Amino acid sequence: MNVLPSNGETPEGLYAQFTHMRGTFSIEATLEAPQSGVTALFGPSGCGKTTFLRLLCGVDRAKVGKVCVNGMWWQNRSFFLQTWKRPVGVVFQDSRLFPHLTVKNNLEYGAKRSFASKRTNGYRVNYDHTVSWLGLERLLDRFPNGLSGGEKQRVALGRAILRNPSLLLLDEPMASLDESSKIEIIPYLEELRSELSIPILYISHDIYEIHRIADRVALMEKGSLLTSGDIKTILTSLELPISRGSHAGAVINADVVEHDKEFNLSILEFEGGKISVARGGMTIGKNVKLRINASDVALALDKPRNTSVLNVFGVKVTGIVEINESQVIVKLDAHGVAMLSKITKKSLDALSIKRGDKCYAMVKSVALMA
């Protein structure tokens, strides 16, 4: 691969900067992502996410653009690497499998066009491991028209991975799937960060997908990239619109520490205390990801004594913002873990809660994400 020197600057991971007009729509955005892990490009439909992807792939050429992936320049002021030479794997909303080829042949198509020899570390994805990990063994002799939506997307993911890309792009891979197909494929998407040591960009406008799959979030709005960072920080930032939307909430990690066999509960522990959830197949010692919706967090000045709510934590109020004429979002600190609570202005006034106050958060519902 022809790679230009970077004049002393060699960004690690993914670095992309574009200024671009497409018709009447303009993009002006800069994105940085680490060498591995999943970064979600999140925003409403029409905000420019897919246009950004096309610029990354080189399908569209930005008037002003820079792209560097793990120290290798794909585009800068004087150099543009053609689309077909860019070591990138892409999974689209529809699988785009070749209908006349079997699953095995579709996978081999990707493997035969591997970029492994062009990568600086010579890393090569193992075919047998990929087939086994994605559970494709029994599908190898079938044709795409005989597969479910989830199966097609698993094959498309395998084909993209087998190209040994330096960058993996997933453009709303679950947007066209029904609920059962989403349930089928999401565990594989969750495991991408541990399976691949490359930057992964996951494009979506579905906040629940982002919660489950991403490590980091980049927020996009009207062609601009507002900010990016760790998912826990971005989701609970009162300065950003995502914390004031209808699906406002926080993601936390907790360890399974014990099981309550009598009441069929699992006890999870995080910095802010212990959380009781319905017992599933979790083993003691496992680290899990939880989502707590802001609308499921009530506040009290005194520790509740007689209540049906099992999960109660001492917290400190770190911020309050108005979201409409009747409601506010309250940001809370549970011993270093950020949470959000959506309450009415009337409740805020009745409790006289202000920034810096200590109170109790009553979590009515917890969603186990992984």
Q: Which residue has the higher pLDDT, 11 or 18?
A: 18
Does any domain span residue 2?
no
369 or 177, which is more confident: 177
CA distance 14 to 32: 5
Shared domain check, 78 and 56: yes
Q: Is residue 9 part of a domain?
A: no
Band (pLDDT 50/70/90 cuts) for residue 4 is: very low
Q: Do 178 and 308 fall within a single domain?
A: no
Per-residue pLDDT at 5 exceeds 70: no
Residues 255, 279 within the same domain: yes
* pLDDT at position 12: 81
> 158 pLDDT exceeds 50?
yes
Residues 116 and 177 in one domain: yes
In terms of domains, do 177 and 274 share one?
no
Candidates 231, 250, 354; CA nearest to 294 is 250
| Domain co-membership, 122 together with 170 | yes
Residue 321: which domain range?
Answer: 249-368
Does 140 share its domain with 264?
no
- Confidence check: pLDDT of 172 > 80: yes
Count of C-beta atoms within a 10 Å radius of residue 157:
24
Residue 199 and residue 59 in one domain:
yes
Which whole number is the average pLDDT over 164-188? 91
Residue-wise pLDDT for 102-143, tens only, equals 999 999 999 998 887 555 444 467 899 999 999 999 999 999
Whether residue 86 contacts residue 58, with contact meaning beta carbons closer than 8 Å, is answered with: yes
Q: Confirm whether 6 is domain-assigned.
A: no
CATH of residue 46: 3.40.50.300
Which DSSP letter does residue 146 get? G
For 31-81, what is each residue's pLDDT tens digit? 999 999 999 999 888 899 999 999 999 999 988 999 999 889 999 988 999
Q: What are phi and psi of 199, to 5 degrees?
A: -65, 135
Domain total for the chain? 2
Residue 250: both structure tokens together: 């926080």
Domain of 344, CATH number, reads 2.40.50.100
Q: 73 and 201 share a domain?
A: yes
Domain-ending residue, one of 235, 268, 296: 235
354 and 217, same domain (yes or no): no
Q: In what order do the strands lie in the sheet with 224-230?
A: 79-80, 72-76, 64-69, 14-22, 25-33, 224-230, 216-221, 37-42, 199-204, 167-171, 88-91
Position 245 scores a pLDDT of 85
**Which one of 235, 264, 299 terminates a domain?**
235
Q: Which of 235, 270, 301 is the last residue of a domain?
A: 235
Arithmetic mean of pLDDT over the chain: 90
Instruction: Looking at the structure, tell me whether residues 219 and 270 fall in a common domain.
Output: no
- Regarding whether 256 and 223 lie in a shared domain, the answer is no
